[in-house]
Structure 1
Amino acid sequence: MNDLVIRTATVDEIPALLAFWAGAAEGTSITDDPDGLARLITRDPEALIVAERGGRIAGTVIAGYDGWRCHLYRLAVDPEQRRRGIARSLLDAAHERFVRLGGRRADAMVLDHNELGQSAWLAAGYGRQEQWRRWVRPLDA
């Protein structure tokens, strides 16, 4: 795994990131568009962490920190490269970022039907909190 490079994303690779998520991520989000991704990278250039192997995106995670809470989104690994420690390397980088920023606990958004994702999060030491439910409201409504 010594050829795996962990780095932050750049605005230049937004099309490649969106294409990667279309094939490797579970589900889509209303923010999966060039403008949304550009806002993220511009506002917090260290939030979108990329694993790269051989000059190609092998995985991603968004490690968002709002000054109070640490949130993880878009943990995705190339289906052909899964089970090789890429997710673990991405989460290690995210956790290091959170600790450096003063974070005390990380949470992850995982779809209920995403059994593969749930297994990955469990393996990384995360557990479901049954007492919580996510409430959402689109801001354009």
Structure 2
Amino acid sequence: MPAPELRPATAADLDTVLAFWQLAAEDAHRPADSAAALSALVARDPEALILAVDAATGELVGTVVAGWDGWRCHLYRLAVHPGRRRAGIGRLLVDAAEARFRALGGTRADAMVLDENDLAHRTWRAGGYAPQAEWSRWVKPL
């Protein structure tokens, strides 16, 4: 199967992305994503939401948010279609995110990964990421 095309999301993709995340992303213990939030992301940083699209069918098969705040690099919402996993799509998306970070001057990336998502833990470790037990993350709903 040929590698998917990687491209930034546009406003026209946002409903498709939200539906895709319902199918392919881990959503336990987190607030629901919204069209308004995605729209704000794409408006603020049009290159941040990277999509993997099947070149033959146009089907969305993967996503990653490669957030850059001018100081730190953050990876969110790495998701691959369940029927397309273990085909290297996640690696392609992370490689594209890391290339973006390097081009912006980033020197270290962190990934937001749920504690109970064992499949994701194996994936991130295989890519050279390690959990950072010394860092606690505190969260407050707004």
> Which TM-score band applies after superposition, normalised by the shorter structure?
over 0.9
Q: Which moved more, 1:129-138 or 1:54-63?
A: 129-138
Separation (CA, whole Å) in 2 of partners of 1:121 and 1:92: 12
Partner of 1:43: 44
What's the CA shift string for 1:34-87, capped at 9, x where partnerless? 000000001000000000112011000000000000000000000000000000
Q: Percent identity?
A: 55
Q: Which runs of 4+ in 1 moved over 2 A?
A: 28-31
What's the CA shift string for 1:97-122, capped at 9, x where partnerless? 00000000000010000001111101
User: Residues 31 and 37 of structure 1 are in contact (CA less than 8 Å); yes or no, is this contact kept in structure 2?
Assistant: no
Partner of 1:11: 11
Separation (CA, whole Å) in 1 of partners of 2:77 and 2:10: 16
The match for 2:76 among 67, 73, 76 is: 73
Taking structure 1 as the reference length, the TM-score comes to 0.95
- Following TM superposition, by how much is the alpha carbon of 1:4 offset from its aligned partner in structure 2, in angstroms? 1.0
Separation (CA, whole Å) in 2 of partners of 1:68 and 1:132: 17
What's the CA shift string for 1:7-41, capped at 9, x where partnerless? 00011111110000001000164361000000000
Structure 2 unaligned spans of 5+: none
